[in-house]
Amino acid sequence: MGWGEVGTISLLRVSGWRVARMKVPSDIGAVASKRVWADGLVTMRVDLLSSRKYNACSSLEWGVMAKTIDQKTNIDGFPKAGELIEISGAHELEASDRAALNILYRLAHDSGRLGEKDAEWNIPIKDLRLSSTHNSTDRVRDSLRRLMKVVVTIPFRGHDERERVLLTHLFDFLDLPSDEENAVTTIRFGLPRKLQPILMRSGHWGRIKSEIICAMTSKYAMQLYELIQLRANMGKSIEVFTLDQFRSKMNIPPNTYSRGHDLVKYVIEPSVLEVNGLSDMGVDIQPRRKHAKAPIYEVAVAWWRKEGNDFRSALKERQRSKVGRLARLRGLVETVE
């Protein structure tokens, strides 16, 4: 029996939530159930039963996605808004810059003040040092300068639900100590005024583990990991991108790696190696060509959650020294038990 025979339902958005409004005849009973999934996805199911025809039943199931801002950091990582994950124009950032970006945005999210006007945050500069052997803050300062310099494009939906893009810096300001040798002082920072409302309205996110990001050396591996985390709880486990879409989502600089061989060697292989070797997810990327000598025209990306030995191996590798890591991941080092 079709849905229209037993009732009607309309969907609307209210403050970022998808709300269901249901109308049913008086002689029809409705049984509703709710299930809360990981990362805030709420699935509602309504079964309608007709008292006139007891074998007449119709069901509808729909999802309500909570806001990113309402999610809490947990053992699976901090909830990074999808709008930040899928930015374009960040190709100038290096791996250390991306790691620092995640640390700063996690602090802002966890504070609960992300939506406050003129909100500011403080963090010890030493917390942004990725190397335990390099005590100077010069590398951190270089990363922060690049983060302030870059202009990114962030897709979002306006209040009228139309798709828009925001051209913005990633920070409103970064207040640094003038003494470059002082490693015990703090950094003060704020977020762009126009970016904050976008993050407050965000309804999709990927859970990012800082220890995984900081364990990686390839900026493309970091970006691939975040793209996969954003899609980890989707109903599908494969997505096909045009070549231009793939380059944009991976933040590959324009006019670089234009040859398929270079794209595979310097972007795809290093990113797949580190995501598979260090994260909780497995990934496979297949460039597609019309024939063997044709250029790449699209890229298929597949992902899955690791289990058993694969999961434990990645966890064990993250706890080891970075020295010799790439060789270990490539299987070029013989492990002695």
Q: What residue type is 25 in one-letter code? A: P
> Which is more confident, 93 or 30?
93
Distance CA 260, CA 293 (A): 10
pTM: 0.79
Domain ranges of the chain: 3-66, 68-208, 216-337
Segment 97-147, tens digit of pLDDT? 999 999 999 999 999 999 899 999 999 988 887 665 555 688 899 999 999
Which of 144-148, 272-276, 329-333 shows the lowest per-residue confidence on average (mean pLDDT)?
329-333
Q: What residue type is 243 in one-letter code? A: L
Contact, 253 vs 94, CB < 8 A? no
Fold of 216-337: Arc Repressor Mutant, subunit A (1.10.10)
Distance of CA 195 to the CA centre of its chain: 17
Segment 31-85, tens digit of pLDDT? 555 454 444 555 555 454 444 433 344 444 445 558 999 999 999 999 999 999 9
Go through the chain and tell me how many residues it has: 337
- Alpha carbons within 13 angstroms on the beta-carbon side of residue 181 total 0
DSSP string, 86-152: T-BS-TT--HHHHHHHHHHHHHHHHHT-TTSTT--EEEEGGGG---SS---SHHHHHHHHHHHH--E
